[in-house]
Amino acid sequence: MKALALLRRLGLPMIIGGFIVLFWIVVALTIDLWSPYDPFSIVGRRLRPPSDVHWLGTDGLGRDVLVRTLYGVRHSLPIALVVVLVSSLGGAMLGAIAGYLGGKTDSVIMRLVDITLSFPAILLAMAVTAALGPGLGNAAVAMVVVSWPVYARLMRAQVLTMREREHVEAAVAAGAGRVRVLTRHILPLCWSPVLVNATMDLGQIVLLAASLSFIGLGALPPTPEWGQMIAEGAVNFYQWWVALGPGLAILSVVLGFNFLGDGLRDLLDPRSAQ
């Protein structure tokens, strides 16, 4: 009964989202143990439609699409995690500093935020990746560059609100140092919007990474990366199954994180629930 009550509190979207994300995490960790084929080897005739041997058919080289799709999560999830972790921590830290110190520091950081945000994300990401040279690693750097400002903005707004709270003023009056006030009394109260945004961002980064790979700036062949696989599917346009697996994979991961983020927001901020 207790478990049921907990599930009810979490809500259906969060359960579905959690289930999807959990599924992909398990796949990423265990696929080596049970995968029937190697993602790189040619296991059949090329461009065969789905059959009972190759459930999602074979691609232009004769590799199994389903296996490659499942292996793809090993590129997408870690990259998204690292990018979101670095940009949320870094961005939040800069935002906190800007909000807490104010003055010149604040205006310099926020100017940078404004300028970065005035680029459509993909254009800036493409420009950065192009400048650094194609590859998943450089694409990850580019994605950090485009995604940190949102966190800086969120965190700054939070810190500005919290700074006015009485307990903070009390701590200052009691003689606590600046760093201590910020880390002990302000930051612990500021995390929930950052957390919600980071969860939603995980999906968006998976999408952006796939987009960059699709364009040819991210993962390079023969990596089984979803965007890269869809690009191969676009070449074999009439063999619809080549792009089906990776497309559904991206969709499910993005939906999963969106659901999770939505549910998390309702949990952390009861006002927005109703």
Partner 1 sequence: MPLLLLGIVTIAFALSNLTKGDPLISIIGERQMDNPEIVAAAKARWGLDRPLPERYLRYVGNLIQGDMGISLRTKQPVARDLMDRLPATLELVIAAMVVGVGGGILLGVVAARYRNRAADHGARFVALLGSSLPVFWSGLLLLFVFSVVLGWLPGPGRLDARLTPPPGVTGFYTVDALLAGDFTTFRLALTHLILPACVLGWAVMGIISRLVRSSMLDVLAQDYILAARAKGASGPRVLVNHALRNAMIPTLTIIGFSFAYLITGAVLTETIFSWPGIGSYTVDAARSLDYPAIMGVTIVGGSAFLLTNLVTDLAYALVDPRVKLG
Binding site for partner 1 (CB under 8 A): 111, 114-116, 118-124, 126-133, 203, 207, 210-211, 214-217, 227, 230, 233-234, 237-238, 240, 243-244, 246-247, 250-251, 254-255, 258
63: left (phi over 0), alpha (psi -120 to 50) or beta: beta
Q: Which is nearer to partner 1, 11 or 62 (CB)?
A: 11
Nearest approach, Cβ of residue 28 and partner 1 (Å): 19
Nearest approach, Cβ of residue 200 and partner 1 (Å): 10
Nearest approach, Cβ of residue 169 and partner 1 (Å): 33
Is-contact 64 197, C-beta < 8 A? no
Q: Which amino acid is at 148?
A: W
CA atoms within 13 A of residue 40's CA, in its CB half-sphere: 4
Q: Which is nearer to partner 1, 35 or 105 (CB)?
A: 105
Collapsed DSSP state (helix, strand, coil) of residue 51: coil
Cα separation, 121 vs 99, in Å, equals 24
Nearest approach, Cβ of residue 158 and partner 1 (Å): 20
Nearest approach, Cβ of residue 274 and partner 1 (Å): 9
Q: Which is nearer to partner 1, 22 or 251 (CB)?
A: 251
Q: Which is nearer to partner 1, 39 or 246 (CB)?
A: 246
Is-contact 191 151, C-beta < 8 A? no
Q: Which is nearer to partner 1, 127 or 160 (CB)?
A: 127
Collapsed DSSP state (helix, strand, coil) of residue 64: strand
Nearest approach, Cβ of residue 173 and partner 1 (Å): 38
Pick from 7, 29, 24, 89: nearest CA to 226: 24
H/E run at residue 233: helix 226-235
Nearest approach, Cβ of residue 208 and partner 1 (Å): 8
Ordered DSSP codes for 123-180: HHHHHHHHHH-SSHHHHHHHHHHHHHHHHHHHHHHHHHHHHTSHHHHHHHHTT--HHH
Q: Which is nearer to partner 1, 25 or 115 (CB)?
A: 115
Q: Which is nearer to partner 1, 190 or 215 (CB)?
A: 215
Q: Which amino acid is at 5?
A: A
How many whole angstroms from its chain centre is CA 262?
14
Is-contact 250 94, C-beta < 8 A? no
